[in-house]
Amino acid sequence: MKNIDSRTHVRGESVYLDDIPVIRGTLFGAAFGSPVAHGSLKNLDLTAAEAMPGVVRILTYKDVTGENQIGGIVPDEPLLAEHHVHYCGMPIAFVLAETDEEAHAAIKKITVDFDPLPIITDPREAQARGDLIVRARTFRLGDVTDAWAQCAHVFEGRADTNGQEHLYIETQGAYAVPQENNGLKLYSSTQGPTAVQRAVARSSGLAMHQIDVDVTRLGGGFGGKEDQANMWAALCALAAHVLKRPVKYALNRIEDMAMTGKRHPYSSDFKIGLDADLKIVAYEPTFYQNAGAAADLSPAVLERTLFHCTNSYYIPNVLATAYCCRTNLPPNTAFRGFGGPQGMFVIEAAIAKAADALGIDAAVIQAKNLNQTGDEFPYGQKAESEARACWDKTVGGYEVNTRRNEIAAFNAANVLYKKGLALMPVCFGISFTNTRMNQARALVHVYTDGSVGVSTGAVEMGQGVNTKMLQVAAQVFSIQPERVKIQSTSTYRIANTSPSAASATADLNGRAVQIACTDILNRLKAVAAIELHADEAAITLKDERVYVGDECTDYTWQRLVLATYGRRISLSEHAHYATPVIQFDPVTEKGHPFAYHVYGTAVVEVTIDCVRGTYETDAVKVVHDFGASMNPLIDRGQIEGGIVQGIGWMTLEEVIYDKTGRLRSNALSTYKVPDIYSVPKEIAIDFLETQADNLAIFRSKAVGEPPLMYGIGVYFALRNAIRAFNPSVVIPFDAPMTPEKVLLALYDTTPTASPVAHDKIADDLAVNS
């Protein structure tokens, strides 16, 4: 089934925040963000700004009617700065004016002085100073101390990954509309309507039942709106509450890029030990997470880095430590993969380092260490592993060994271009790592005309979750999809929602829809049994018809609905689902945190231009563990998008803050994102269909985040291509692998690098000219 939004999307009729008709009397907000990254505030002067045309009011922390606090996990994030700023862009004042232009013009007239404080942008420096947001976390399996002695080979190194701008097409924004008796209705571009509701309640001083957060859809989220939609919604809500006028603020791109957090950069150390048979015996990574100036979701992201630090491998002795380091950058936040990709990069770097030193292909080590069913992860859960199945199907189905030979032949025959190949296995745990978030609710109404309205906590952000919810309802009732409408996500209809995140939205909300629809269906069947004088167990509904056993009756869906209504039996249901089995103890750091894992393996091929350092991704071919996909079209779309987003993170996207904590890559002129030319020339997706039961909705495994990590393979393929040109170059593990870095590595003249390649290319250029 096609995404139900595809028609209105292509016709430009889909409604996003900025498409909501503006209500008369609406004020436009704009936040004045700190121009410095760390300091004490002095002499905030608003007079010139207040005198600007159209300005109605400028709010500061003194105007906050509730608690001046929006920190979700740790209360370390004021809505508006009081006496202290700790990152560039931190909101200090909120201007309200009659137009958006007037609000932005007034911001430029605000002046403020600071007593400067030291600016820390490096997580290792923060850790050395003891500036951690939460305690260090350590996951342990076996005993590394004893294990090093059993290793034939031990390697140590460092691996860094940079941040990533979410670049959702729709920027952050909110629209707050006052209701009677101090109530507030909020439209917000948020993945977490309840998170917004909580932040608004806390900062405005209203009860949650006074606040309806209503979300139709987002133009992308990618994690950036899991927590960081709260700020803008709380500012609009505060202004609407104080001024009793509707207030709207949709950030422009520059504001959005400068003021919001991104994927966490990580700097990591690793030590890896292998036995003579190339089995990984011990692994000891240390992660320095650049959390930014406030906790936001960093502690949870940190945890997922540890969960995924061994990726798809079974390693019997692991000691993994992670530090949540406070720096003077905008608070970094959720981003597709949620710390998992950062953890996986480091183990892949460790394997690549070992492979380089041993003069073998990394795939030899990867293949020997894939986990198997029953193997224990460092957090105690046992694998139900499809790692080997995905790997073997990739290597066999895509003829990887043949491709490797062809690439070797190509590289032997060409000097100006080199190709590289890498395999990237992925293993990603599905469930919020915070067990209590794994719950969802659905409200289903069957109307007397036979149409069905479904509300859930799921937020549609382009991922197609509404289509999947619709499929669940249509399938349970066995009715035409056209009869079902997925309503907006509203905190008045569905309470206490978890954000649409963690790849778990369709699973959690889909199960709730399934339960609600099944309950209504059972009532309908009971009525059919009475009306048809049949045994209830013999009643089924198929294609909008009631069947008694195999016999089709003249009772249609519509007639049965009316009959049920006529008997005064409820045609509505509100259902709750909580993932069974899962638990995790943060004291012992052991448990069973995930409902299941998603596996996959990608084979990646790239070609680099050895004169320019530019490159193309020739192919990303994956075997992906879908369980039993309920919507292959949408799931393919998620995989293609995830791969390209992962490639962007690993190759082009370079978030650059200078030493003063200012974002230099603050626009699309300076921040390069993947475009159509960065898309692999070939993306192949093969389905690993598994029969085993799982906790996914209709056994259709979660698909949102795992494919992003296939993009990591591109980094290692590029590395292999560079080494084909300059065999002894030592390439630091420092993503992204931009064309500049490729060029530098190709012509690296440090003594360890061989000069041979240079001479060869010089000769070749001479011949060609």
User: Which residues are catalytic, by number?
Assistant: 705
Using CB under 6 A, which of 295, 363, 502, 539 touches ligand LUZ?
502
C-beta of residue 520 within 8 angstroms of C-beta of residue 571: yes
Given ligand LUZ, ligand MOS, none, residue 335, with its beta carbon under 5 to 8 Å by kind, binds ligand MOS
338 binds ligand MOS (CB under 6 A): yes
What are the residues facing 421 on neighbouring strands? Answer: 605
> CB of 225 within 8 A of CB of 168?
yes
User: What is the DSSP annotation of 699-726?
Assistant: GB---SSGGGGGGHHHHHHHHHHHHHHS
The piece of 208-216, 330-338, 370-378, 531-539 that touches ligand MOS (CB under 6 A) is: 330-338
* Strands, E assignment, 560-679: 572-578, 583-585, 590-592, 596-609, 615-627
* Contact predicate 634/707, CB 8 Å: no
466 lies in the binding site for ligand MOS (CB under 6 A): no
Q: Are 547 and 555 in contact (CB under 8 A)?
A: no
Pick from 501, 524, 685, 761 the residue near ligand MOS by CB under 6 A. Answer: 501
Question: Does residue 433 interact with ligand LUZ by CB under 6 A?
Answer: yes
606 touches ligand MOS (CB under 6 A): no
Over the window 213 to 242, marking each residue x when it contacts ligand LUZ by CB under 6 A and - when it does not, the resulting string is: ----------x--x----------------
Closest-CA residue to 704 (of 527, 507, 515, 548): 507
Please state the closest distance from residue 79 (CB atom) to ligand LUZ, in A: 21
Token duo for residue 55: 């300005």
Around Cβ 190, how many Cβ atoms within 10 Å?
A: 33
- Identity of the amino acid at 458: A
The alpha carbon of 446 is separated from its chain's Cα centroid by a whole number of angstroms, namely 34
Q: Which is nearer to ligand LUZ, 226 or 653 (CB)?
A: 226
Residues in the chain: 769
How far from each other are the two terminal CA atoms of the chain, in whole angstroms? Answer: 55
Among 94, 139, 432, 671, binds ligand LUZ (CB under 6 A): 432
Containing H/E element for 443? Answer: strand 439-446
The least distance separating ligand MOS from the CB of residue 226, rounded to whole angstroms, comes to 4
CB 298 within 8 A of CB 327: no
Q: In what order do the strands lie in the sheet with 615-627?
A: 417-430, 596-609, 615-627, 682-689
Query: What residue number has its CB nearest to ligand LUZ?
Result: 338
Phi, psi of 245 (to 5 degrees): -135, 150
| Partner in contact with 444, chosen from ligand LUZ, ligand MOS, none, beta carbon below 5 to 8 Å by kind | none
CB of 336 to ligand LUZ, least distance (A): 7
Question: Residue 102's binding partner, choosing from ligand LUZ, ligand MOS, none, with beta-carbon cut-off 5 to 8 A by kind?
Answer: none
Residue 149: Cβ within 10 Å count: 10
φ, ψ of residue 553 to 5 degrees: the values are -100, 175
Which of the stretches 84-92, 331-339, 403-411, 671-679 binds ligand MOS when contact is defined by CB under 6 A?
Answer: 331-339
Give me the least distance between CB of 249 and ligand MOS, in Å please: 22
Contact of 255 with 156, CB cutoff 8 Å: no
Told to check if 653 binds ligand MOS by CB under 6 A, we report: no
HEC string of 125-165? HHHHCCCECCCCEEEEECCHHHHHHHCCEEEEEEEEECCCC
Q: Which of 139, 187, 335, 615 binds ligand MOS (CB under 6 A)?
A: 335
Q: How far is the CB of 191 from ligand MOS (least distance, A)?
A: 5
List the x/- string, 684-723, binding to ligand MOS by CB under 6 A. Answer: ---------------------x------------------
Residue 191 binds: one of ligand MOS, ligand LUZ, none (C-beta under 5 to 8 A by kind): ligand MOS
Residue from 336, 590, 636, 723 touching ligand MOS (CB under 6 A): that is 336
In three-state secondary structure terms, 86 is coil
| Binding map of ligand MOS across residues 174-203, x = CB under 6 A, - = no contact | -----------------x------------
Single out the residue of 719, 752, 721, 722 nearest to residue 734, CA to CA.
Answer: 719
Phi, psi of 681 (to 5 degrees): -65, -30
Question: Residues 81, 151, 196, 300: which binds ligand LUZ (CB under 6 A)?
Answer: 300
**Segment lying near ligand MOS (by CB under 6 A), choices 335-343, 413-421, 488-496, 597-605:** 335-343
**Complex with ligand MOS: residue 3 or 433, whichever CB lies closer:** 433
How does strand 27-33 pair with strand 247-250? parallel
Closer of 338 and 596 to ligand LUZ (Cβ): 338
Selected binder of ligand LUZ within 166, 202, 248, 304 (CB under 6 A): 304
Positive or negative: CA dihedral 296, 299, 301, 302? positive
**Whole-number Å distance between alpha carbons of 387 and 390:** 5
Nearer to ligand LUZ, 39 or 340 (CB): 340
Sketch the per residue contact string, 311 through 350, with ligand LUZ: x for CB under 6 A, - otherwise: -----------------------x---x------------
Per CB under 6 A, the segment of 126-134, 278-286, 334-342, 724-732 that binds ligand MOS is: 334-342
308 binds ligand MOS (CB under 6 A): no
Using Cβ positions, the residue closest to ligand MOS within the complex turns out to be 223
Q: How far is the CB of 33 from ligand LUZ (least distance, A)?
A: 25
Query: Strand, coil or helix: what is 3?
Result: coil
Residues near ligand MOS (CB under 6 A) are 191, 223, 226, 334-336, 338, 501-502, 705
Residues near ligand LUZ (CB under 6 A) are 223, 226, 297, 300, 304, 334, 338, 432-434, 501-502
